[in-house]
Structure 1
Amino acid sequence: MDTTGILDEALERLHSSGPERLGWLSNHAPMAVEALAAHGQARSVHRWLDLYAPRLEEFPSGVEPVTAADWQRALGDPRRAADWIGYFGREIAERPWRDVLGEWWPRLLPGMYGGATHPVIRVGHAVRTLLAGEATEPRLSELAHGLGYWAARHHAVTALVPLPGADSAAAALDAVTPVAERDGGFPTRLARVRGLPAWAATVTDPDAAHRHLTELVRAATHRYATHGHGDATMLVHSATAPNAVLRVLPALPRSLWAPSLRAAWTASAAVTAMYAPDAPTAYTPPGTPTPEEVVELALEHGDEHVIKLTDTALDVGDERALAAALRSIELSEPLD
């Protein structure tokens, strides 16, 4: 993890910006700079931020403070993003951050689809930083921003019909039926998801949940190499969302690991249903670059989703995962 102080500088710089722009597009910068710093690219963080800066908007105005007595009324109200971030800032200042996370994780977990899964991904990056190093004020504040964004965009999905599944995560993802209509944004497509294959539904043991979630992240990452052309940007989240959950598990009570697996599977499968192509395409990567070289290529490309998928691919750590990262570079528009 970065020990230069650059990540903290970048987070401080970003916390004057809101979690979204144009009313619905997520601010990816906190996630991308954490990923770069985590993989030895701290020296490039501010240069990357300078390129991304035109996409940032000012921090939104508050409506009224969220309190312990009325938080349910504010849950899922995107107008209350500043109120929620302020609430979690106060909570984390007064209590250990793990206690706050453990209390709110089960409340937020059913709504991880809000903001196209970006809030939980942002929380995953924040928690990784806190677990890896000192709990500095900018890093604690970043967790508050991530949790607050999640609470404001909380969107639950209910009444999904369990469909015939498979034993492995890869086979279960292959069993996902794409939605019939492929137009519209994330909320529109999500409303069309009626059923998903059952997978790991009976897992209750925390260690088994961890193994299954690791398997899911690997399968979704591998799958991007052959299916990412369905939507180069959105299918990234089929891997990065469950990986965010996997990163948070060590900071949670073990009793929450199995519910976290189930939520992560549903999110990954739903994204697959919304954006998967009709058929895969064979992909052979151009050469066999090292993980360090893949990070350099992702940084040179600059797209925030490429950086985040590369970050997850390095967590998976095998050649097929690195091939997925290279495929994302080929499919995505570079940041300029």
Structure 2
Amino acid sequence: MDTKGETSTRIPDTSGTLDEALQRLHAAGPERQGWLSNHAPMAVEALVRNGQAPVVHRWLDHYRAKLEDMPGTSARITAATWREALGDPTRIGDWTRYFERETAERPWREVLAEWWPRLLPGIAAGATHPVIRVGHAVRTLLEGAATAPRVTELAHGLGYWAARHQPLPPLTALDAAPSARAALDAVPRVPDQSRGIVHRLAQLSAFPAWGTAPDPDAARALLTELVTAATHRYATHGHGEPVMLVHAATAPNAVLRALPALPRELWAPSLAAAWAASAAVTAAYAPAEAAPYARTPLTPEEVFERAALHGDDHTIKFTDTALDVGGDVALAAAVRSIELNEPAL
């Protein structure tokens, strides 16, 4: 039977590799050089989950040069002072320690449910890396034991998100789109694409109306549709900015991964925020014209093995999302990311 378009079989981690890798990483901060994200926790989770645990420590040895120590602390964040610290990247160390304490004292689901609606308006912060990191962490906790390294990883992801929290500018609703793909196609590109993401996001003014749902189950279905549409769109538009455009798919997929751990009343607002994040990345980096792409004869496992050998962290994470989506177009998009991004190994 032809299996190249099917979703791959995910392999449970019984080796302890993920916990070992996370322990290696938790002395490092979530950023380097003042703003570049540390992708290692997300990439190693994707590698382990997709059957590439044997390469994780070698990959980390190579990535180690990109890591910087966790920033120091300045003042303890409390239930009475957190609002004044929200969105202050100089408080990364303080926020990390805050969530380490919270997740040590309370169930991780309780902490996540309390903070998710507080953090959601700032979903695009840090080029969406914080929410993506949280999504990877939640997936490991939902699918396996809540070990100390995995709970700590959630704490670090939440701390990064709180420190980088920054809402998008006010947006006008354009005409409603009938589907997620049509909505992404109708997103207006920002006029000045000459500088970084903060400059580009500041130019956002309007998105097509999409992403409202009457109930939680509808919200989940629409969010799944959005992840699929953004993944497929990378096959034709990823050349516009191969690194940054992966986030149009991986950010909403992080939200989708988190939904089962959240109260159902948070699913609809999560969809709206995920749409805003995906549309923002699309507006900031999408090219003016589509490009052709080729289907691949490779199986999902073969595609991910190629991504692991390629070694680029964004490529690994995008391929992981593409395998969640499944199907020929998603696999072609994953192969496109391998072709477009610079190899890291």
Give the shorter-chain TM-score range. Answer: over 0.9
Match of 2:78 in 1: 67
Which of 293, 297, 300 is the matching residue for 1:291?
A: 300
Which of 241, 248, 252 is the matching residue for 1:231?
A: 241
The letter for the 1-side match of 2:339 is E
Match of 1:262 in 2: 272
Which of 164, 168, 177 is the matching residue for 1:166?
A: 177
Match of 1:305 in 2: 314
Which of 236, 253, 256 is the matching residue for 2:263?
A: 253
Cα distance in 2, alignment partners of residues 187 and 152 from structure 1: 15
Cα distance in 1, alignment partners of residues 74 and 214 from structure 2: 41
Cα distance in 1, alignment partners of residues 248 and 240 from structure 2: 12
Cα distance in 2, alignment partners of residues 205 and 47 from structure 1: 45
The letter for the 1-side match of 2:326 is G
Instruction: Give the secondary structure class of the aligned counterpart of 2:194.
Output: coil
CA contact (8 A) 1:66 1:87 kept: yes
Cα distance in 2, alignment partners of residues 109 and 168 from structure 1: 23
The letter for the 1-side match of 2:161 is W
Match of 2:219 in 1: 209
Cα distance in 2, alignment partners of residues 326 and 230 from structure 1: 16
Instruction: Give the secondary structure class of the aligned counterpart of 2:176.
Output: coil
Aligned ranges for residues 100-119 of structure 1 at < 5 Å? 100-119=111-130
The letter for the 1-side match of 2:218 is A
CA contact (8 A) 2:311 2:344 kept: yes
Which of 45, 48, 53 is the matching residue for 1:34?
A: 45
Cα distance in 1, alignment partners of residues 70 and 81 from structure 2: 23
Cα distance in 1, alignment partners of residues 343 and 169 from structure 2: 36
Which of 114, 126, 132 is the matching residue for 2:143?
A: 132
CA shift, 1:166, in A, is 1.1
Moved over 6 A (4+): none
The letter for the 1-side match of 2:272 is R
Match of 1:314 in 2: 323
Cα distance in 1, alignment partners of residues 336 and 158 from structure 2: 31
Match of 1:8 in 2: 19
Aligned ranges for residues 176-215 of structure 1 at < 5 Å? 176-201=187-212, 203-215=213-225
Alignment of 1:242 onto 2:252: yes
CA contact (8 A) 1:61 1:82 kept: yes
CA shift, 1:204, in A, is 2.9
Cα distance in 1, alignment partners of residues 214 and 153 from structure 2: 31
Deviations 1:279-333 (A, max 9, x none): 0001114x31001100110011000000000000000011100100000011000
Instruction: Give the secondary structure class of the aligned counterpart of 2:207.
Output: strand
CA contact (8 A) 1:213 1:261 kept: yes
**TM-score relative to the length of structure 2:** 0.96
Deviations 1:136-192 (A, max 9, x none): 000000000000000000001141011113111001101111111111111100001
Identity of aligned residues (%): 67
Q: C-alpha root-mean-square deviation of aligned residues, in Å?
A: 0.7
Cα distance in 2, alignment partners of residues 190 and 72 from structure 1: 23
Cα distance in 2, alignment partners of residues 193 and 52 from structure 1: 34
Q: Where does the alignment leave 5 or more consecutive residues of structure 1 unmatched?
A: none
The letter for the 2-side match of 1:250 is P
**TM-score relative to the length of structure 1:** 0.98
CA contact (8 A) 1:165 1:175 kept: no
Cα distance in 2, alignment partners of residues 39 and 12 from structure 1: 20
Cα distance in 1, alignment partners of residues 108 and 51 from structure 2: 26
Match of 1:153 in 2: 164
Which of 304, 317, 340 is the matching residue for 1:331?
A: 340
